[in-house]
Amino acid sequence: MFLKKSSAAFLAFSAVFTSAALQRVHAQAPNLVHTSSYSKYMGNKQWKFNIYLPPGYSTGPAQRYPVIYFLHGAGADENQFTYYATTFIHSYIQQKKVPEVIVVFPSGGGQTWFLDNGVFASYAMDPDSYIIKELIPHIDSTYRTIADRGSRVISGMSMGGYGAWHFSFKYPELFCYGGEFAGGGPYVANLVVQNYSPAEDPHKLAVSNAAILSAQMKVYVCVGGNDGLTAFNQEMVNICKAQKIPNVYTVVPNIGHDFAGLMQNNGLQAVQYVTQGFAPVSIADRRASTAAGGDAATISLQGRTLRIDSPDALPLTIGLFSLSGRMAASYQTSERIAKLDLSHFVRGAYRVRLKSASGITEKKIFLD
């Protein structure tokens, strides 16, 4: 259903905090790097993002760190919520209340709701593909991250909160926690939704991916008691409960659609929840752990060639599935390195499942 514009709803989603206090916060930016990387999905140009590097990053060259991706609100950009890291998380780290983490602030391009193909005709961008196919690989290859789902969180506020619902429920193989602050989607705001796909609706994703989400995903939801999006977040929490997706839901009294207010009242609990179990891992320790589990097969995509490296887990069954679960192909191999030509496959996303003596490994791949 296409709904008419509501200025009140639009302002709720596109609120940009410009108080003098937050302007001072933005001026204090310890360890914040303003940078960019090339993106074909965001206009075939350099696309900006911010990245916060924890205090130990410059002094411990052998350390790797977990990552939080934090998404901005509607009408804003990568600069809107950098104080989440530079003020709050930086302080928690210094107080040794949370582990050291890297925080990345992508730009989703205004009012895209972090969906591909543009929710509005004037936003012909693909922020979903940008973050999943370009930004995360760029961050993992450029910075000293722990590049696995167990050390990767997706979070955000307002439109970014919707993005966090969307990404955590759509890509549970990439994220272990979702941190949703006052999230809401285009289908609940009274806005003109021209290209919105119901398949992207987190209500439906929570149900279709319930098995893996209940086993692997945890969400932290925080919203102000005076926020018009409280009902929507309660609805999403109810779905989490029905699908047995672990969650913590906090309503902060007397707070409206105000991220600074939420963080000042509940920020430590929010960050502690989505970073619980995180710890920096040194390069040496990571190599030792990889060697100890050497029978684990790995999956990589080189163009349209799927490469499987299976040191000690032979024989191996390789299955390719659509995201709906339909099998597209199945192979068996006794080679330690298997290369499969996927040039005849239709463009899109697939799930690769490896079954061997060491167990089952799954990874999502994208064929351009």
- Pick from 106, 102, 96, 91: which is nearest to 60 by CA? 102
Residue 287 lies in a domain: no
- Residue 211 to residue 23: CA distance in whole angstroms: 44
Note whether 137 and 129 are within 8 A (CB): no
* Main-chain phi, psi angles of 28, to 5 degrees: -95, 95
Structure tokens at 348: 């899109």
pLDDT at 213: 94
Residue 156 lies in a domain: yes
pTM, two decimals, is 0.72
pLDDT tens track for 132-166: 999 999 999 999 999 888 899 999 999 999 999 99
Residue 316 lies in a domain: yes
Note whether 196 and 148 are within 8 A (CB): no
Residue 1 lies in a domain: no
State whether 224 and 335 are in the same domain.
Answer: no
State whether 300 and 352 are in the same domain.
Answer: yes
Note whether 319 and 305 are within 8 A (CB): no
pLDDT at 174: 92
Residue 288 lies in a domain: no
- CA distance readout (Å), 250 to 99, 109, 181, 182: 22, 29, 10, 10
What are the percentages of helix, strand and coil residues in the chain, rounded to 5?
A: 30, 30, 40
Domain that holds residue 175: 7-282
Note whether 14 and 184 are within 8 A (CB): no
Contacts of residues 39-48 at CB distance under 8 Å and 24 or more positions apart, as own/partner, are: 39/130, 39/134, 39/135, 40/134, 41/116, 41/125, 41/126, 41/127, 41/129, 41/130, 41/133, 41/134, 42/107, 42/109, 42/125, 42/126, 42/127, 42/130, 43/125, 47/107, 47/130, 48/77, 48/78, 48/107
Any bridge partners for residue 157, and if so which? 181
Domain boundary among 226, 248, 282: 282
State whether 275 and 302 are in the same domain.
Answer: no
CATH number of domain containing 330: 2.60.40.1220
State whether 313 and 227 are in the same domain.
Answer: no
State whether 352 and 218 are in the same domain.
Answer: no
pLDDT at 16: 38
State whether 203 and 346 are in the same domain.
Answer: no
Structure tokens at 136: 């995360």
Fill in the amino acid letter for 24: R
- Residue 88 to residue 225: CA distance in whole angstroms: 22
One pLDDT digit (tens) per residue for the chain, 368 residues: 223 333 333 334 344 333 334 433 443 457 899 999 999 999 899 999 999 999 999 887 788 999 999 999 999 999 999 999 999 999 999 999 999 999 999 999 888 889 887 555 556 789 999 999 999 999 999 999 998 888 999 999 999 999 999 999 999 989 999 999 999 876 544 444 445 566 678 888 999 899 999 998 999 999 999 999 999 899 999 999 999 999 999 999 999 999 999 999 999 999 999 998 776 665 544 443 333 344 567 888 888 888 888 766 567 788 887 765 666 777 777 777 888 888 777 777 888 888 776 667 778 888 87
Burial-class residue 225 by CB neighbours within 10 Å (0-12, 13-18, 19+). exposed
pLDDT at 323: 65
pLDDT tens track for 320-362: 877 656 667 777 777 778 888 887 777 778 888 887 766 677 7
Burial-class residue 21 by CB neighbours within 10 Å (0-12, 13-18, 19+). exposed
DSSP-based three-state secondary structure for 178:
strand
State whether 333 and 278 are in the same domain.
Answer: no
State whether 270 and 157 are in the same domain.
Answer: yes
- Residue 187 to residue 196: CA distance in whole angstroms: 8
Radius of gyration of the chain, Cα coordinates, nearest whole angstrom = 21
Structure tokens at 91: 């302080």
Residue 150 lies in a domain: yes
Note whether 329 and 320 are within 8 A (CB): yes
Residue 75 lies in a domain: yes
Residue 321 lies in a domain: yes
State whether 227 and 90 are in the same domain.
Answer: yes
- Residue 129 to residue 125: CA distance in whole angstroms: 9
CATH number of domain containing 265: 3.40.50.1820
Number of separate domains in the chain: 2
State whether 277 and 303 are in the same domain.
Answer: no
pLDDT at 189: 44
State whether 262 and 303 are in the same domain.
Answer: no
Domain boundary among 253, 282, 311: 282
Note whether 274 and 319 are within 8 A (CB): no
